[in-house]
């Protein structure tokens, strides 16, 4: 990726997801307005941006959960617009949700098994004859066991998903998405609510996905996590892609700083100015604590 | 008061024809509501499809009763598709509105003068199901023991009826323990999660509506053939809601739930009715409060009171799982 210029809409050597002229309006508000963006195959791309930037809406659009007002996009070379969400998922692009969707009154194991694709027993008529699907069910269960093990959820396998903590649900949702062995995963804030130690293992998982050749696009507000694992960072602001680049470069990009802090903030002009503001602040806090 | 009679009538009602009809209606509704999360408020319409198909085939078309049974199944499938295809892509409430309206339309058409030559209008179709009783392998006489003594024809209806209840329960049991059942439960919990995992939510909802509707239609057939009579007003909204009561009483999303619920419901109805009748006949009830003719209405009030105790003492229903209902589902 070193040859890719760090600018919005830059071309990637081997893009898996290519989006053009994607727009979504909610009344007067333009939630997503992306001219062009490419996501590199077998890499980890972080999608960052302030609250309301349109990251979740972008996810919803490319995975078929929401319909754009305009736009085209291809996944792995195939045009994807107007495909219903289940077809997108079957095509190998699986997403998780910002507001976790654990299936509360089903066991953790059943949540996992649901993620497996092409199950014979999901056909109505074959469902009635267990011998048609028992063998496959055993395979699915074995796969679920190993994923639960990796995500340290084995202890909870027979628990109702509704009884899990918020962080555990995040883990379950991610593990469940991996049941189908997808080509690309879109994770909407996978770290939110997960404790730091577990967060580290989660990051390690995401990295291992890339090492298996999978593509990861994830939304995250924690910049340390973004810097730690992502190969590339895409920044959204008010629906647009406002910056792109390797993580080292993004933190210093003035466009990004403007987007997060508001473009009207007055950046300290000089070093002296900055020092003066800092002193004022220290004084103020000292006064308050008296 | 003759408590022996009250108890034995209650026990008879618990296995009687009404219990069968409502068990079948409730098994179908449990698949819709308990497992898939579909709000079908028009189950009575599916019962009517089963009942009228048998009646119309025999009396109007002069076909055999068994052709009528086949037509009844097809009619229930068609009704499910008509109601489901346009609404199941929409929010859950649309199905509720459409089904409750459709069931009422069916009832009103059936009792209308315009179609009276086909449906029998408000007097219905009567005495048409002899073909069913001709198959009765039991000789003339009374069979059974204790409170459960029935004449040969009654027992024949009950045998076939409970056979259908058993068969339907078995089908539902196989379905809900299969990967298919896992998908419909996931749809109940969160449609979008199921979609994100590659499941065609719409197709599953349609399938569930069809299967539950056909089971309901069997209930209608038992009702009509057992009475040798099809009456439009038996298929009003009250029928749907009594069936729904049976589901909740027994415990939603439990295979034996709707069956146990229907048995207890009809036992309870018979129990209160018999107590009231006897009390009224013996002059124990002041006529200012309740006269003999009002017993039918007052019994439902008492049944209602008894049912109110349920959410207080056993909110999960008779066969329900308490753990399961503690999770909020959005
Ligand atoms: N269904 C909707 N109806 C109306 N407006 C919506 C809808 N969904 C999103 N929006 C608006 O679109 C904008 C983008 O929302 P979106 O959820 O995509 O932001 P986000 O970048 O994911 O933010 P966050 O980091 O807070 O999750 C917001 O202003 C939001 O209010
Ligand atoms: Mg979001």
The domain ranges of chain A are 15-102+164-252
Q: Which of A114, A162, A179 sits opposite B183 (nearest CB)?
A: A114
Question: Under an 8 A CB cutoff, do B182 and A106 touch?
Answer: yes
Cα A266 to Cα A256, A272, B262: the distances in Å are 15, 15, 73
| Gap between the Cα atoms of A59 and A195, Å rounded | 25
State the smallest CA–CA distance between residue B250 and chain A in angstroms.
18
Q: What is the pLDDT of residues B186-200, one digit of tens each?
A: 999 999 999 999 999
Question: Under an 8 A CB cutoff, do B324 and A160 touch?
Answer: yes
- To test ligand 1's pocket by mutation, which of A23, A24, A25, A26 has the most ligand atoms within 8 angstroms of CB? A26
**pLDDT of amino acid A1:** 74
- To test ligand 1's pocket by mutation, which of A52, A97, A192 has the most ligand atoms within 8 angstroms of CB? A52
Percent of chain B clearing pLDDT 90 (strictly above): 76
State the smallest CA–CA distance between residue B137 and chain A in angstroms.
31
Q: Which of A96, A103, A163 sits opposite B186 (nearest CB)?
A: A103
pLDDT confidence band for A265 (50 / 70 / 90): low
State the smallest CA–CA distance between residue A65 and chain B in angstroms.
8
pLDDT confidence band for B310 (50 / 70 / 90): confident
* Residues 262-291 in B contacting A (C-alpha not used; CB under 8 Å): none
Query: Which residue, by CA, sits nearest to atom 29 of ligand 1?
Result: A52
Residues of A with Cβ-Cβ distance to B189 under 8 angstroms: 103-106
**DSSP per residue, B12-51:** HHHTSHHHHHHHHHHHHHIIIIIII------HHHHHHHHH
Across A23-46, average pLDDT = 96
The residue that leads in pLDDT, A288 or B177, is: B177
Residues of A with CB under 8 A from a CB of B: 63, 65, 84-87, 89-90, 94-97, 101-106, 110, 113-115, 117, 119-124, 127-128, 130, 133, 137, 160, 162-163, 176-177, 179-180
Distance from Cα A11 to the centre of ligand 2, integer Å: 25
Please determine, for residue B202, whether its predicted confidence score (pLDDT) is greater than 90: yes
Least confidently predicted of A91-105, A239-253, B313-327: B313-327
**pLDDT of amino acid A143:** 97
**pLDDT of amino acid B328:** 56
| CA angle (A84, A85, A88) in 5-degree steps | 95
Q: What is the pLDDT of residues B212-267, one digit of tens each?
A: 999 999 999 999 999 999 999 999 999 999 999 999 999 999 999 999 999 999 99
Contact call for residues B139 and A93 (beta carbons, < 8 A): no
C-alpha B248, offset from chain centre: 13
Strands (E), A175-239: 184-188, 215-219, 232-237
The residue that leads in pLDDT, A5 or A87, is: A87
- To test ligand 1's pocket by mutation, which of A23, A24, A31 has the most ligand atoms within 8 angstroms of CB? A31
Across A231-260, average pLDDT = 86
**pLDDT of amino acid A281:** 76
- The token pair at B245 is 């009561």
Please determine, for residue B329, whether its predicted confidence score (pLDDT) is greater than 60: no
**pLDDT of amino acid A263:** 56
Q: Which of B181, B195, B323 sits opposite A160 (nearest CB)?
A: B323
- The token pair at A7 is 């600018």
Please name which of B63, B84, B19 lies closest in space to residue B214, comparing C-alpha atoms: B84
Distance from Cα A33 to the centre of ligand 1, integer Å: 13
- Residue of chain A whose Cα is closest to the Cα of B172: A128
Q: What is the pTM of this model?
A: 0.91
Please determine, for residue A145, whether its predicted confidence score (pLDDT) is greater than 50: yes
State the smallest CA–CA distance between residue A78 and chain B in angstroms.
17
pLDDT confidence band for A193 (50 / 70 / 90): confident
Half-sphere exposure at residue A54, Cβ-oriented, CA atoms within 13 angstroms: 25
Question: Under an 8 A CB cutoff, do A127 and B180 touch?
Answer: yes
**pLDDT of amino acid B330:** 43
Distance from Cα B260 to the centre of ligand 2, integer Å: 46
Across A88-95, average pLDDT = 96
State the smallest CA–CA distance between residue A82 and chain B in angstroms.
15
**pLDDT of amino acid B317:** 83
Q: What is the pLDDT of residues B66-113, one digit of tens each?
A: 999 999 999 999 999 999 999 998 888 899 999 999 999 999 999 999
Distance from Cα A31 to the centre of ligand 1, integer Å: 7
Q: Which of A65, A110, A180 sits opposite B182 (nearest CB)?
A: A110
* Strand A232-237 to A44-48 pairing: parallel
B181 touches chain A (CB under 8 A): yes
Across A31-50, average pLDDT = 96
The residue that leads in pLDDT, A88 or A255, is: A88
Please determine, for residue B321, whether its predicted confidence score (pLDDT) is greater than 90: no
B173 touches chain A (CB under 8 A): no
pLDDT confidence band for B316 (50 / 70 / 90): confident
**pLDDT of amino acid B55:** 95
**pLDDT of amino acid B271:** 92
Residues of B with Cβ-Cβ distance to A84 under 8 angstroms: 195, 200
The residue that leads in pLDDT, A212 or B314, is: A212
Distance from Cα A55 to the centre of ligand 1, integer Å: 8
**pLDDT of amino acid A128:** 97
The residue that leads in pLDDT, A266 or B228, is: B228
- φ/ψ of B95, rounded to 5, equals -60, -40
Q: What is the mean pLDDT of chain A?
A: 90
Please determine, for residue A261, whether its predicted confidence score (pLDDT) is greater than 70: no
Please determine, for residue A155, whether its predicted confidence score (pLDDT) is greater than 80: yes
Q: Which residue has the tokens 């997801």?
A: A17
- Residue of chain B whose Cα is closest to the Cα of A118: B198
B149 touches chain A (CB under 8 A): no
B77 touches chain A (CB under 8 A): no
**pLDDT of amino acid B288:** 67
* Strand A93-95 to A240-245 pairing: unpaired
Please determine, for residue A262, whether its predicted confidence score (pLDDT) is greater than 70: no
Residues having CB closer than 6 A to ligand 1 are: A 26, 29, 31, 49, 51-57, 98
Residue A221 alpha carbon, nearest atom of ligand 1: 25
Please name which of B217, B176, B286 lies closest in space to residue B70, comparing C-alpha atoms: B217
The residue that leads in pLDDT, B124 or B288, is: B124
| CA angle (B48, B49, B55) in 5-degree steps | 85
| Gap between the Cα atoms of A144 and A156, Å rounded | 12
Question: Under an 8 A CB cutoff, do A120 and B201 touch?
Answer: no
Question: Under an 8 A CB cutoff, do A106 and B200 touch?
Answer: no
**pLDDT of amino acid A80:** 93
Domain at A15-102+164-252: CATH architecture: 3-Layer(aba) Sandwich (3.40)
- The token pair at B139 is 């000789």
């Amino acid at each position: 990726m070193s040859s890719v210029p760090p600018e919005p809409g830059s071309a990637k050597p081997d893009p898996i997801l290519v989006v053009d002229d994607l727009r979504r309006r909610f009344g007067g508000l333009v939630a997503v307005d992306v001219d062009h963006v490419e996501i590199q195959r077998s890499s980890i791309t972080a999608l960052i941006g302030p609250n309301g930037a349109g990251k979740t809406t972008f996810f919803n659009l490319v995975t078929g959960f929401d319909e754009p007002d305009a736009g085209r996009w291809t996944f792995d070379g195939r045009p994807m617009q107007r495909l219903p969400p289940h077809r997108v998922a079957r095509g190998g692009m699986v997403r998780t949700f910002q507001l976790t969707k654990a299936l509360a009154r089903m066991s953790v194991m059943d949540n996992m098994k649901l993620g497996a694709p092409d199950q014979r027993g999901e056909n109505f008529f074959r469902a009635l004859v267990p011998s048609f699907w028992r063998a496959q069910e055993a395979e699915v269960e074995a796969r679920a066991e190993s994923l639960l093990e990796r995500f340290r959820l084995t202890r909870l396998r027979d628990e109702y998903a509704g009884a899990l903590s918020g962080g555990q649900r995040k883990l379950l949702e991610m593990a469940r998405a991996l049941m189908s062995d997808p080509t690309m995963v879109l994770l909407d804030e996978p770290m939110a609510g997960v404790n730091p130690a577990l967060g580290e293992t989660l990051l390690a998982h995401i990295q291992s996905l890339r090492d298996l050749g999978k593509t990861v696009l994830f939304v995250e507000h924690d910049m340390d996590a973004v810097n730690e694992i992502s190969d590339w960072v895409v920044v959204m602001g008010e629906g647009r892609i406002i910056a792109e680049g390797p993580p080292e470069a993004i933190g210093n990009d003035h466009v990004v700083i403007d987007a997060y802090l508001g473009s009207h903030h007055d950046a300290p002009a000089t070093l002296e100015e900055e020092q003066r503001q800092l002193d004022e602040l220290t004084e103020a806090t000292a006064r308050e604590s008296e | 008061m003759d408590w022996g009679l009250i108890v034995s009538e209650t026990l008879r009602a618990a296995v009687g024809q009404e219990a069968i009809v409502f068990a079948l209606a409730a098994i179908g509704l449990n698949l819709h509501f308990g497992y898939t999360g579909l709000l079908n408020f028009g189950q009575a319409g599916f019962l009517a499809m089963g009942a009228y198909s048998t009646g119309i085939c025999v009396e109007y078309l002069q076909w055999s009763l068994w052709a009528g049974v086949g037509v009844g199944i097809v009619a229930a499938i068609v009704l499910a598709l008509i109601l489901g295809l346009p609404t199941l892509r929409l929010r859950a409430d649309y199905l509720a509105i459409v089904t409750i309206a459709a069931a009422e339309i069916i009832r009103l058409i059936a009792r209308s003068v315009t179609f009276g030559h086909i449906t029998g209008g408000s007097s219905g179709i009567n005495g048409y199901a002899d073909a069913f009783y001709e198959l009765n392998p039991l000789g003339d006489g009374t069979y059974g023991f204790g409170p459960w003594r029935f004449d040969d024809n009654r027992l024949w209806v009950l045998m076939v009826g409970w056979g259908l209840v058993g068969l339907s329960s078995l089908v539902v049991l196989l379905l809900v323990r299969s990967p298919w059942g896992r998908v419909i439960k996931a749809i109940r919990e969160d449609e979008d999660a199921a979609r994100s995992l590659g499941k065609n939510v719409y197709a599953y909802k349609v399938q569930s509506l069809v299967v539950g509707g056909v089971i309901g239609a069997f209930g209608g057939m038992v009702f009509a053939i057992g009475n040798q009579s099809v009456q439009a007003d038996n298929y009003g909204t009250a029928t749907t809601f009594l069936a729904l009561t049976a589901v909740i009483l027994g415990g939603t999303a439990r295979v034996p739930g709707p069956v146990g619920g229907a048995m207890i419901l009809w036992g309870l109805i018979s129990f209160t009715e018999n107590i009231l009748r006897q009390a009224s006949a013996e002059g124990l009830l002041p006529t200012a409060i309740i006269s003999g003719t009002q017993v039918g209405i007052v019994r439902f009030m008492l049944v209602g009171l008894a049912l109110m105790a349920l959410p207080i003492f056993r909110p999960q229903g008779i066969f329900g799982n308490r753990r399961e209902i503690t999770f909020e589902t959005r």
